[in-house]
Amino acid sequence: MRRFLTTLCIGASLCLTAGAATAGNATQVSPAAAVAATVPAVASRPAPAIAASAPALPAATPAREPAPAAKEVKTNKAITMSMFLAMILLTGAIVYRAAKSTKTTADYYTAGGGISGMQNGWAIAGDYLSAATFLGIAGITSIFGADGFMYTVGPFFSFVTILLVVAEPCRNAGKYTLGDILSLRTPSKLVRGAAAVSAVVVSTFYLIGQMVGAGKLMQLLLGIPYNSAIVGVGALLVVYVTFGGMKGTTWVQIVKAVLLMLCGVTMTVLLLVKFGFNLVAFYDAVAASAPVQDHVRSLLKHAAPQPGYDYGQRFLESGLLLKDPVDQVSLGLAFALGAAGLPHIMMRFFTVPDARSARKSVVISMVLIGSFMIMVTMIGFGAALYITPQQVMAVDRGGNMAAPMLSQFLGGGAGTILGDLFLAFVCAVAFSTIIAVVSGLILASSAAVAHDLYVNVLKDGKPNQREQMKVARVSAFVIGAVAIALGIACEKQNIAHLVVLAFAVVASSNFPVLLFALFWKRFNAGGIVTGLTVGGLFAIGVVMVSPNMTYPKKIAADARKVVLALEKKQADGALLAVRELKALNKARLDYAANKDGRSLVGLDAPLFPLKNPAILSVPVGFLSAILGTFLFGTRREEKMFDELYIRQNTGYGATGTIDH
């Protein structure tokens, strides 16, 4: 337990600098080894001794044998459907009311700038705490242990960047989109077009994760086919955005944030009350769980248990998913810089009346997001303990149903009224999370297409309000259709991984360009276009040759190791257990199916060794913006910096609040 807490502290402090220096495997000396050397291995302690460390907890039986892995979550369809319907009616009523006052483009894109700092802080939290956070990170933690913590540290620190660098200048200098800020430096239509395309691409990456989460929820809980669920959710969201605009989206996000915090607090309290709020007992129980130990052994591809290897403790150390500390640095870099350039987050700063409100909203959102990140990590470990990683993966390979499954257990289990009610509530909250985030993403994308491309590039800013509103709503419909198609295509992906890729692309393209546009006098159109295109494309290209892709020959090689190990055991005269026989047969099939295959881009193995491209793509993004400035720009654009500098520091010329 103490080693785990030390690992968490190290991860938090070094995420943005030198990475979390954790053990590559449990036989190596970790940074916490000096502390842990005096503590007996958790796996060697019987479960009753762990329970004895918390005398007031006779009812807690943390290390339990897993039930046979079921392929679906048992739900009370009537309760679940009623809860989903109630959430749809609640959000629909909000959108309906907002639609009555959405008459101009300022209303549609920024709610007329009339959102208070407090409201915007809750809305930012609602916008940022996506399905990837609630479902994906809980799933990663339940399957890969402490690596899920690394997916929570980065997002929290990203708001430090937003608070200190982005929030106030963007509120003062912008209007609706990133293209508005960049166009203050140059009237080039190419800049507008590049900014719009970048916003759509980034939003699309983010959209995929949310749509996959929505489809899984509807499929697993309501029995609706995945494709039908994606189409239905997408159609609902298009209606919300088309008629509600930013005002409707904002209030949906606020309501969702309140419900999500309530959900997180309730689950965490119910989980910890089993241990008398003794965190040491909780994490000791996780490490002592036999299913957790078996799962770690499977992840490490140890065909037979290695003597003296502490598989339970290994689950509490990072490195099962992010095996390279440099990969953890790369992940932290993507999170720290990526959030500042996310189109749907940036648009939120245009909804408040002044820079002070923008700063206040960031501080409020940091508190809310940081609190929830701690809770979602606890939820993930709780799912590993009580649901087991095997059961989580049996229901959904990516782990996205870990949190809902734990909620049913905490409420009393499948078939109980409280269990089914709590499951339905948690899933309805997750559904509202998807509604809120996707609404913001579709709105940001439609703003880029309608405001940047159509109004300012194709029509030179001449269309009237009615025409602009029509184009915005049509673009929202088209983007929603694209989101539906991509959601169907990416059914098998873990949604947290998908969102991380969006962060890497933004950190490599939008953020360098935004930073230089605000603070570098020499920066010009050449640097903007080069930074956006080269940085974004390079990040995507690195992902295509990274371990994120499927490499059949790597699968075949891993399968062959299992075959050789188990065949050797048979040759030595040992009888294989039923589970080992199944593993042997599966490994033989995997080897035969993959031994001659190649990745999507025709590779046998990754060219780039890390899962997260930011450590390479972010420097390339900055460098390309700098080189583009010197090679393709003109010095005449420097004179525009003075106006931008005054606006970003004083708010002079910024759009004021509209009274509704």
Question: Tens of pLDDT along 195-206?
Answer: 888 888 888 877
Say whether both 472 and 536 belong to one domain. yes
Say whether both 521 and 576 belong to one domain. no
Q: Check whether 18 has a pLDDT greater than 60.
A: no
**Is position 57 within any domain?**
no
pLDDT averaged over every residue in the chain: 79
The model's pTM: 0.74
Say whether both 489 and 513 belong to one domain. yes
Question: Tens of pLDDT along 300-322?
Answer: 888 778 888 889 999 998 888 87
Say whether both 195 and 335 belong to one domain. yes
Short-list 430, 319, 372, CA closest to 11: 319
Cβ atoms of 445 and 203 within 8 Å: the answer is: yes
Per-residue 3-state assignment (H helix, E strand, C coil) for 391-416: HHHHHCCCCCCHHHHHHHHHCCCCCC
Say whether both 425 and 459 belong to one domain. yes
**Is position 62 within any domain?**
no
Say whether both 469 and 573 belong to one domain. no
**Cα 337 from chain centre:** 14
Tokens coding 47: 């479960």
**Residue range of the domain that includes 331:** 75-549+606-650
Q: Check whether 11 has a pLDDT greater than 90.
A: no
pLDDT range class, residue 5, cuts 50, 70, 90: very low
DSSP string, 171-227: HHH-SSSHHHHHTTT---HHHHHHHHHHHHHHHHHHHHHHHHHHHHHHHHHH---HH
Tokens coding 606: 């990754």
Say whether both 335 and 434 belong to one domain. yes
Whole-number Å distance between alpha carbons of 200 and 186 = 21
What integer pLDDT is reported at residue 309 of this predicted model? Answer: 87
Say whether both 156 and 212 belong to one domain. yes
Question: Tens of pLDDT along 582-635?
Answer: 888 988 998 888 888 888 778 888 888 888 889 999 999 999 999 999 988 677
Whole-number Å distance between alpha carbons of 594 and 629 = 47
Q: Check whether 21 has a pLDDT greater than 60.
A: no
**All residues at 6 or more sequence positions from 510 whose CB lies less than 8 Å from its CB, including other chains:** 178, 198, 199, 202, 340, 341, 342, 343, 532
**Cα 185 from chain centre:** 33
Say whether both 579 and 505 belong to one domain. no
**Cα 307 from chain centre:** 37
Q: Check whether 659 has a pLDDT greater than 60.
A: no
**Is position 14 within any domain?**
no
Whole-number Å distance between alpha carbons of 72 and 404 = 12
Q: How much is the CA Rg of the chain, to the nearest whole Å?
A: 25
**Is position 599 within any domain?**
no
Q: What single-letter DSSP state applies at residue 657? A: P
Q: What single-letter DSSP state applies at residue 4? A: H
Q: What single-letter DSSP state applies at residue 653? A: T
Q: Check whether 535 has a pLDDT greater than 70.
A: yes
What integer pLDDT is reported at residue 75 of this predicted model? Answer: 74
Cβ atoms of 354 and 169 within 8 Å: the answer is: no
What percentage of the chain has pLDDT greater than the value 70? 85
Read off the pLDDT of each residue in 23-35 and give the average, rounded to a whole number.
31
Whole-number Å distance between alpha carbons of 412 and 66 = 16
What integer pLDDT is reported at residue 105 of this predicted model? Answer: 80
Say whether both 449 and 574 belong to one domain. no
pLDDT range class, residue 137, cuts 50, 70, 90: confident
Question: Tens of pLDDT along 338-370?
Answer: 877 888 888 888 888 887 888 888 889 888 988
* Region of poorest pLDDT, from 283-287, 615-619, 649-653: 649-653
**Is position 567 within any domain?**
yes
Q: Which amino acid is at 239?
A: V
Whole-number Å distance between alpha carbons of 369 and 159 = 9
Q: What single-letter DSSP state applies at residue 58? A: T
- Domain of 504, CATH number, reads 1.20.1730.10
Tokens coding 613: 């491209």
**Is position 388 within any domain?**
yes
Read off the pLDDT of each residue in 22-48 and give the average, rounded to a whole number.
32
Say whether both 454 and 427 belong to one domain. yes
Read off the pLDDT of each residue in 237-256 and give the average, rounded to a whole number.
84
Q: Check whether 265 has a pLDDT greater than 90.
A: yes
**Is position 133 within any domain?**
yes
**All residues at 6 or more sequence positions from 286 whose CB lies less than 8 Å from its CB, including other chains:** 62, 292, 312, 315, 316, 381, 384, 385
**Cα 491 from chain centre:** 16
Say whether both 587 and 624 belong to one domain. no
Short-list 215, 260, 259, CA closest to 237: 215
What integer pLDDT is reported at residue 278 of this predicted model? Answer: 92
Whole-number Å distance between alpha carbons of 25 and 311 = 10
Domain count, the chain: 2
What integer pLDDT is reported at residue 155 of this predicted model? Answer: 66
Secondary structure element (H or E) that encloses residue 617, with its range = helix 614-632
Whole-number Å distance between alpha carbons of 191 and 186 = 8
Residue with tokens 């036999």: 290
φ, ψ of residue 57 to 5 degrees: the values are -125, 55
